[in-house]
Amino acid sequence: MNKHYLIWDLPLRIFHWSFATSIMLLWLTSELGTDYIDWHLKLGYLVLALVSFRLVWGFVGPQHARFFSFFPTPKKIIRYLKHKDQVYAGHNPLGGLMVFAMLSLVLVQGVSGLFVDDEVFTSGPYFNSAGAEVDSLMRTLHFNTFDFILAAIALHVAAIVFYKLIKNQHLTKAMVTGKKPSLGLNESDEIPHSKLILALFIAILACAFIYWLVVVNPPPMEEFYY
């Protein structure tokens, strides 16, 4: 049987599937209206915690989770386009570009949400705290960035389907099991383990940071009397 190497660590896989599910639920809760706005906010905080975790993991996680390992320089992209049949252990340069684009777009969406209100009863914890101009800019960002996120997701999923159908590479399976066939890879591409204790520590720090950001730090809400 073909040998497989561990490429994607468990924390990165948990990150990916929680991130993808939360973004879809955020879309749903924004469409369902006021009854679901509380869920929208909670999921938004979860996504901000996930992105915070991923930003740190990109520096201290295992080899293929590190940003430097797939940072898409023009040189790397050109080499990839010239030699398309090369097998990559982690993200290929175009995939890497997509990772940076998706994380940045979601970060903009999440942070801008903190300043938005639904013009009914609910607002983000920083609404009305930095002046009307900032609120207006954040509103514009929150109501327009999601179109770009959807476009990026469509491209992302299309690329994965392309790899499966045309190149016969099962990237999704690898994002579930963490393992890729060793064919075309080197033994040094395999990661020794998932650094689980470190991941747990960073996950707790990320949650504590978001708790501080959305509960402890915001200015008190103005009271409304009817």
Q: How many secondary structure helices (H) and strands (E) does the chain include?
A: 7, 2
Name the 3-class secondary structure at 208.
Answer: helix
CB 126 within 8 A of CB 139: no
Q: Does 199 bind ligand HEM (CB under 6 A)?
A: no
CA angle, 104 then 106 then 112, to 5°: 100
From 72-80, 103-111, 193-201, 218-226, span contacting ligand HEM (CB under 6 A):
103-111
Q: Distance (Å, rounded) from C-alpha 213 to C-alpha 29?
A: 22
Q: Which of 10, 14, 16, 76 binds ligand HEM (CB under 6 A)?
A: 16
Least distance CB 42 / ligand HEM (angstroms): 9
Q: Which two tokens stand for residue 2?
A: 């073909």
Q: Which of 122, 128, 129, 177 binds ligand HEM (CB under 6 A)?
A: 122
From 15-23, 78-86, 200-208, 216-224, span contacting ligand HEM (CB under 6 A):
15-23
CB 90 within 8 A of CB 64: yes
* Residues within the interface to ligand HEM (CB under 6 A): 12, 15-16, 19-20, 23, 26-27, 30, 40-41, 44-45, 47, 54, 91, 95, 99, 102-103, 106, 109-110, 113-114, 116-119, 122, 124, 142-143, 146, 153, 156-157, 160, 171-172, 175
